[in-house]
């Protein structure tokens, strides 16, 4: 009797043991894929981080050396960043970069479009990231083009103004008095007037004229070329063209190239007949494509970025901050001034000042004709960006710098002022004082080499994986 019960208990124990074994085996069999899936998920995340690091390497390269985009990347061609810039060194975070490639997909006035692909590998996991990027204001010479204003009508002076520049661009009217000499091109969305010769002074343009003629009434002139002016080619999309003819050949305008118009009625019929080789009708003419929009470097978002990323910050606290020779010594990087600023003296090094206020230039003590000059013309560079206006009343001398303003208020030229560098100011006027401007391409080149990162803007348009 007892032995029969013990046999039953043994069978029961064996059954329970078998059941537990089967359940354990099943649980183990189920847990292994889950563990593999969990591990694969970790690996995929790590691969994603590696791919993301590849994209960041490219963005860092653009920020540190924006000129690389122009010098090394060709439009539409794929560039192997991993092989060319990282020398094939792919190991990172216990995994590796499988590929990092970049392609310049578009090049427009003031903007370059790029596509970046980066693939990260970690164990058996791979992740690929595809990023579309826009880089605004990548090239310094596209911002600091010479004299760039929205309106130059304020510089129509009885005393005359001498302006020597490689490029003059405008969103509105450009009125050039006798004595003006432009080495580069003249752009206007509305109207260009070349004033009449005065004595031995006349308007001379070595480049071309591009006039869009926006907002003109029927019969209005978009281009007026008066007696004694010397031009190359002129392109006029809308509006009529006036070309004066005097009694003496010596005072007639000299057109070395041609006048191009969209339709024949833009030119006077009698002038056309007298000058058969000096004009041409181009129905497809579109001058707007040549006129870039005025650069917008100091938006609220950008000002915040400048303040947060500046190497040096100053608070005006109600009174202007004065930057003299001592404070302008060994400049290095980005400086942010919250308030008005005064500049006077000799500077050295390379610096960009962003001033959230007005900027005044004062005469440099001890120098008869200097207000703001570099210690070394071959190495030093200074750019000043402000939200207010530039004041030259106390300058009466030379200013060697790249100047940018976002204010729609008029910057008024006072006292005889010479600016070497570039002027990007929306509106300029004068009460008869002389502005002598010289475009300094060497200064622009130094800015491109050392400071363009302070004004170029990188924006992510699309990020997918």
What are the pLDDT digits (tens) for 19-31? 666 656 655 555 5
**Least confident span in 26-30, 86-90, 137-141, 262-266:** 26-30
Residue 168 banded pLDDT, cuts 50, 70, 90: confident
- Confidence category of residue 368, pLDDT binned at 50, 70, 90: low
Model confidence pLDDT, tens digit, residues 12-21: 666 677 666 6
pLDDT band per the 50, 70, 90 thresholds, residue 6: low
The two tokens of residue 250 are 């010596």
First to last CA, the chain: 74
**Residue 164 CB neighbour total at 10 angstroms:** 14
pLDDT at res. 431: 62
Q: Dump pLDDT digits (tens) for 97-118.
A: 999 999 999 998 788 999 999 9
| Strands 91-92 and 95-108, sheet pairing | antiparallel
Residue 393 and residue 373 in contact, taking contact as beta carbons nearer than 8 Å? no
Q: What is the 3-state secondary structure (H, E, C) of 332-383?
A: EEEEEEECCEEECEEECEEEEEEECCCEEEECCCCCCCEEEEECCCCCCEEE
Residue 424: predicted pLDDT: 93
Of residues 436 and 131, the one with the higher pLDDT is 131
pLDDT of residue 78: 96
Q: Mean pLDDT lowest for which of 258-267, 292-301, 307-316, 324-333?
A: 292-301
User: What pLDDT score was predicted for residue 159?
Assistant: 43
Predicted pLDDT of residue 315: 94
Model confidence at 2, pLDDT cuts 50, 70, 90, reads very low
Residue 259 has pLDDT above 80, yes or no: yes
pLDDT of residue 33: 56
Q: Is the pLDDT of residue 32 over 90?
A: no
d(CA 367, CA 371): 8
pLDDT of amino acid 23: 59
- Which residues have a Cβ under 8 Å from the Cβ of 274 and sit 6 or more positions away? none
Q: What is the mean pLDDT of residues 164-185?
A: 79
Among 344-348, 392-396, 423-427, the minimum mean pLDDT is found in 392-396
Please name which of 52, 58, 57, 61 lies closest in space to residue 122, comparing C-alpha atoms.
Answer: 52
pLDDT value, residue 249: 54
Highest mean pLDDT among 26-35, 70-79, 149-158, 359-368: 70-79
pLDDT of 52 > 60? The answer is yes
Nearest alpha carbon to residue 69 among 115, 9, 10, 8: 115
Give the span between the Cα atoms of 211 and 194, in whole angstroms.
Answer: 13
Lowest-confidence segment of 211-215, 233-237, 245-249, 291-295 by average pLDDT: 245-249
For the chain, give the mean pLDDT.
Answer: 86
pLDDT of residue 234 exceeding 70: yes
Q: What is the pLDDT, as a whole number, of residue 397? A: 77
pLDDT of the residue at 73: 93
pLDDT value, residue 24: 61
Q: In this prediction, what percent of the chain has a pLDDT beyond 90?
A: 55
pLDDT at position 313, please?
97
Model confidence at 317, pLDDT cuts 50, 70, 90, reads confident
| Residue with tokens 């009698």, as numbered in its chain | 270
pLDDT of residue 432: 60
Residue 439 reports pLDDT greater than 90? no
The proportion of the chain whose per-residue pLDDT surpasses 70, expressed as a percent, equals: 85
């Amino acid at each position: 009797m007892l032995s029969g019960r013990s046999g039953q208990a043994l069978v029961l124990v064996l059954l329970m043991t078998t059941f537990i074994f089967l359940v354990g085996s099943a649980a183990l069999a189920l847990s292994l894929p889950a563990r593999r899936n969990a591990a694969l998920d970790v690996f995929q995340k790590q691969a994603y981080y590696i791919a993301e690091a590849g994209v960041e390497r490219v963005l860092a390269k653009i920020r540190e050396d924006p000129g690389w985009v122009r010098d090394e990347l060709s439009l539409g061609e794929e560039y192997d960043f991993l092989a060319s810039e990282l020398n094939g060194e792919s190991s990172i975070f216990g995994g590796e970069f499988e590929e990092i490639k970049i392609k310049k997909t578009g090049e427009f006035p003031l903007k370059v479009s790029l596509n970046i692909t980066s693939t990260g590998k970690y164990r058996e996991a791979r992740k690929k990231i595809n990023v579309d990027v826009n880089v605004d204001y990548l090239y310094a010479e596209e911002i600091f083009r010479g004299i760039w204003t929205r309106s130059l009508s304020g510089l129509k002076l009885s005393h005359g103004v001498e302006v020597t520049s490689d490029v003059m661009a405008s969103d509105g009217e450009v009125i050039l008095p006798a004595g003006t000499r432009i080495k580069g091109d003249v752009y206007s969305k509305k109207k260009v007037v070349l004033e009449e010769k005065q004595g031995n002074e006349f308007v001379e343009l070595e480049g071309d004229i591009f006039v869009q003629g926006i907002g003109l009434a029927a019969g209005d002139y978009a281009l007026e070329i008066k007696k004694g002016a010397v031009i190359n080619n002129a392109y006029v999309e809308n509006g009529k063209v006036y070309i004066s003819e005097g009694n003496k050949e010596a005072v007639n305008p000299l057109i070395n190239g041609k006048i191009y118009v969209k339709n024949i009625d833009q030119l006077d019929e009698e002038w056309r007949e007298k000058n058969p080789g000096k004009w041409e009708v181009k129905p497809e003419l579109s001058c707007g494509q040549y006129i870039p929009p005025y650069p917008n470097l100091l938006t609220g978002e950008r000002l915040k970025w400048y303040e947060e990323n500046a190497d040096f910050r100053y608070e005006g606290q109600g009174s202007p901050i004065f930057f003299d020779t001592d404070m302008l010594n060994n400049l290095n990087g980005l400086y942010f001034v919250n308030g008005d600023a005064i500049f006077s003296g000799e500077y050295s090094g390379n610096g960009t000042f962003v001033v959230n206020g007005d900027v005044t230039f004062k005469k440099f003590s001890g120098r008869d004709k200097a207000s703001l000059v570099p210690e070394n013309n071959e190495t030093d560079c200074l750019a000043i960006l402000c939200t207010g206006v530039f004041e030259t009343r106390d300058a009466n001398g030379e200013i060697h710098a790249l100047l940018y303003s976002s204010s729609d208020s008029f910057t008024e030229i006072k006292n005889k002022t010479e600016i070497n560098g570039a002027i990007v100011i929306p509106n300029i006027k004068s009460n008869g004082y002389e502005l002598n401007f010289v475009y300094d391409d060497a200064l622009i080149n130094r800015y491109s080499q050392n400071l363009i990162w302070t004004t170029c803007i990188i924006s992510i348009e699309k990020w997918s994986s």
